Structures are given as C-alpha cells and as structure tokens.
Structure 1
Amino acid sequence: MVVANAQNGKVFDNLTVKSKILKSERKYSVYLPPDYETSERSYPVLYLLHGAGDDQTGWVQFGEILRIADNAIKDGSATPMVIVMPDANTGKRGYFNQGDDWRYEDFFFEELLPYVEQEYRIKGEKRFRAIAGLSMGGGGSFMYAMHHPELFSSACPLSAYVGPLTLEEQKARYPVIEGEHSEEDVVAYFRRHNALNLMDSVSVEDLKSVRWYIDCGDDDFLYEGNSLVHIAMRKKEVPHEYRVREGGHSWTYWRQSLPEVLRFVSQAFHQY
C-alpha cells in the first residue's frame, strides 16, 4: 500500500526483503521525504523500531509518521530523511539474536541495513545514520547503538525496555536449560542485552561518539531502567538529553516524542 498526497512524503508499509539468516521474507515500511522523487540527491536515514505487539506498520498507523515527518520537514525543524521501519514481530519477537533460529540482530546489520542503503538513495556514513524506537524498540535502539557505536550518529530510545535489571529477572526470561543454555550463556546474554551492563563494558569514548536522546513518561512502568541509564551516563559524563514528560506508555506520548526525535537526529545530519 502507498500512502501519499501531492507535495508530501510517501509511505510504503508492506515491502519485503529476503533474509537468508532468518530463512524468510521480512517486511518493512519506509518513509520517503517530499522531494525524494524529484531530486537526485542522497538522504540521511533514521531506523525507527516498533514496540512489542506491533509490526512495521506501527509507526505508520499509530505513530502517524507521514503527517509528523512531513510537518517537521516543512517547518524546518527536521531535514529531509528516509525513515526505515522493520518488522520484528513475525516468527519470534525481538531485535536480538535468540539461539540459532532467530538471529534478528545479525539480520539487521548484515542484511537489512546494506539492502535498504543500496535500494534507496541513502548516505552510508555514520554521521547520516540514526536509530530510534519505542519500548522494545527503545531497547533495540540502546543495544544497537551500544553494540555498533561506529554506525550511528544519534540514538533516541523512547520509553525503552533497557533489558532485565537483575540476573534473576534474566533467568526468568532466558532460563538455564541443560543442553541448551548454560549458566555462562545466560550471564553472557544478560551482559550483552542490558543497557546498564553495556554502560560499563563499552568504552566511554564510544558512548560519547553517539548523541543520546532518552525520553520516558513520568507514569511509565519502565521509568526505573531509563532513570538508571541516565544516572550512569551522568556519572560517566556521557553527554545526553534526558526527558521526562507527563504521560505513560502510550502512543499519545510517542506521537509527541517523534517531532523532537526528528529535530534531534537532524542536528547531526546538518553537521550541527
């Protein structure tokens, strides 16, 4: 399906890319800015991740990406950009590798990112690439930018699930199973998929090489993890913007966040 109006951007919300890693065709949506079809230039890119229970259409249907991005570009608060919204809700759910049959993080970096950056006129450098997402996708934004700080100029986790806050919570989600997951496996997974652990294992220089925008409502049940990451960044003197507004874990909140995300990532795209 194509959503479009004259002199506005376009959204394609049912596109596919073949994945050998996930042994399936993976869906994604893409927003193309208003001048994409009439120009020949290349654009910066924002990878925008959905939350648990949604798919690649979440930011299109509920997040109103077309209206909000068009308005931000028209009023000059955001630069024209391509926005890619992948599906991480079909087969299994989540943005991280889970055993041999759900290597989603490998798919994202080894297949999806190279594919879309060849398929569309996208600038392929760190400075022109950003990542953002809500809830589960906020966790993906934290992890992807911490696992690959060399790839993203900005990261904007919204109402993020930062990962299990304790090893016991991790074991409840990813249990020790004889023959499948050893104690060492579970501990290693916990350390790699928890933003607070990554704050200690990723170098401060790498953390500082990414511009951070963290946003979580005052009534959001995920407030604790986001607050703790903010405190950890303050202690390590990692520059970041930390926003707490009135609201909970809802699309009303995230629709209000999105214009600020577009403004924030555009600062790096514009060589602030």
Structure 2
Amino acid sequence: MRFLLILLLCLPTWLHAQKSQVINSLPVKSNILQNTQHIAIYLPAGYAKSNTQYPVLYLLHGAGGNYRSWLQDGNLQHIADSFLQASKTQCIIVMPDAAMTFYLDNIHGHYSYETYFFNELIPYIEAHYRCKPDRRFRAIAGLSMGGFGSLLYAMHRPAIFSSCYAMSAAVRTDEDIIKMPLADFRRRYTTALDSIADTDNRITPFLHQNSILYLAEHIPDSQKQLVRFFIDCGDDDPLSKGNALLHILMQEKGILHEYRVRNGAHTWDYWKQSLPQALQFITQAFQQL
C-alpha cells in the first residue's frame, strides 16, 4: 500500500516530464530576408529534463499555410506524441514559415528564402537547441508546396539531409507550367520572379534550376544514393500525375526512393494519415549507419 501511494503521488510529475512541448511562435531575426521570421518547434517528451542531443525534422507547410499549419490543421503534436512514444524514438520537429515563396530564392536576389533556410535557419536551430549536427540526423518533409520544397532542398543540397518525405508534392512538367492560368502562375511565383507578364517565357534556366523533374533528370551519379526519398500522393490528387512521373524518372535514373499511392485527395485528412508513415520512414533513416 505504501509503494502504491508513492507511485500515485509521483505519477503526475512523471506524466508531466513525459509531455512534449510546442513553441507556437518563435521569432527569428533574419538578416538575409531583412525581417523577423516566425517558426514553430516541437520538442519531444523529456527534452527539458535531459542533456540529450536529438535528430531534427524540418516540416514544411503548403501554399496558403504558415508555420502553424501542421499544429492547427495537421494535429502534429498528438500524432508525433503517439508515434514517437510507441516507436521509442525521439526527434525535434521544426516548422518554418515560407509564405508564398515556393521555398525559392528570388531570381534577382530580392527575397532569398532558400538561402535564409540554409544559412540562417538551420544554424539558428542547431545553435539554440540540442541537435545532432550531422546529415544522418537531419531530415526534411512537407506537403504540396512544402512537398516541392522538401524535394527541392534535398536535391539542391543532398549533403545536408539523410531523408526526404514529400506528400502530395507540387511537381509539375514544363507543359503544366505553360498551361497554368496566368492568375495561378502569378499567385505561386510572383515572390520568386517579381513581375510576370502574359507574354513572358515561363520555361527559363531559372525554372529548370528549380524544377524537380529537371533536377532528377540531371542528378549526378554520386548523389543518387545520398538521400532516401519517399513520394506519397493520393490517387484523387490533381498533383498525382507529376508525382507518378517523378517516380518513373527516379526509377529510370536509379535514384533511391519509395513511392506510394493511397486512396485520398489533396486534403488534411490525407496528410494526417501520411504523417505517421513519414515519421516512421524518417526515424528509420536516423537509425541507419
């Protein structure tokens, strides 16, 4: 009875120690972007009580979203808690805010989001949080525009990440880009391209430098096995064609990847089902030698 009483008295403290922590809005001053960025961070259970270093997942939002989207719409804290506790794994999850940059640097250098991400955001996270500063323990994932961003960053800088999980990624062919209505094209790419006229040639060297299909087509042999890729897209998603073409191209080029098509559309219901699978894939990559 005495042991049981002690256990009951200690239980609330133990449960509190095991609870994850979410920082909803952390301001990060950016010299590159000349503003203050805001990010959200998930710290796993026990972070505050330990001296442990943790792997890091950078989780990117989609178009029209922001750094809080995964928390508010994606139920991230509950899903991450459930998966990490069951799998006995842990990681920090960083959710940045890219607005409508498509995670790109501006063509004229006016707003260089990709440069900020690598030159300021990652160093800031690794300086202020107990991260394992090694590519093996660094991953990237995202949905829609964020799926594009995760693929783009993993292909641009494969020495930075061990794995990349792209959900419903905004992968488009040159033909898709040409046929896109001007209003949609401007909404997506004005931040990267500045002014856009109806007569402008959309297929440019800048587009190819930032095209997932072009990058996969021209990936050097030495980089084909560096990053573990996972492409995940619903069968009713309007972006399913681009994702399927990327899978076929990766197969032909011998790029290490997994590809899954599940029942679903371009919705949060689909992405919330994807998140545990993404965490499983990513944490497995963290554990590989």
The percent identity for this pair of structures is 44
Match of 2:219 in 1: 202
Question: Among residues 31, 35, 41, which one is paired with 1:30 in the alignment?
Answer: 41
Distance in 2 between residues matched to 1:195 and 1:36, nearest whole Å: 36
AA paired with 1:95? Y
Q: Does 1:60 align with 2:71?
A: yes
Unaligned regions of 5+ residues in structure 1, if any? none
Query: Which digits, 9 at most, give the CA deviation of each residue in 1:78-131, with x for residues without a partner?
Result: 620000000111xx5331012322210011011111101111000111100000
Alignment of 1:1-272 (within 5 A): 6=16, 7-76=18-87, 79-89=89-99, 92-98=100-106, 99-166=108-175, 168-169=178-179, 173=185, 187-271=204-288
d(CA) in 2 for partners of 1:171, 1:205: 38
Deviations 1:155-213 (A, max 9, x none): 001000024533635895368979xxx96x95111111111100122213313210011
Preserved contact between residue 196 and residue 229 of structure 1 (Cα < 8 Å): yes
Letter in 2 for 1:69: A
Offset of residue 10 of structure 1: 1.0
- Cα RMSD (Å) of the superposition? 2.4
CA distance in 2, matches of 1:234, 1:209: 15
- Residues 28 and 37 in structure 2, CA contact (< 8 A), matched pair in contact too: yes
**Ranges in structure 2 where 5+ consecutive residues have no aligned partner:** 1-14
In 2, the alpha carbon distance for the partners of 1:48 and 1:236 equals 27
Contact 2:224-2:254 within 8 A present in 1 as well: no
Distance 2:260 2:210 in 1: 23
Q: 1:235 to 1:14 in 2, by over 3 A?
A: same
1:201–1:237 Cα change, 3 Å? closer
After superposition, the Cα gap between the structure-2 partners of 1:73 and 1:242, relative to the gap in structure 1 and judged at 3 Å, is same
From the CA coordinates, give the structure whose radius of gyration is larger. 2
Structure (1 or 2) with the greater helix fraction: 2
TM-score by structure 2 length? 0.85
- Give the secondary structure class of the aligned counterpart of 1:151: coil
Contact 2:25 2:40 in 1 (8 A): yes
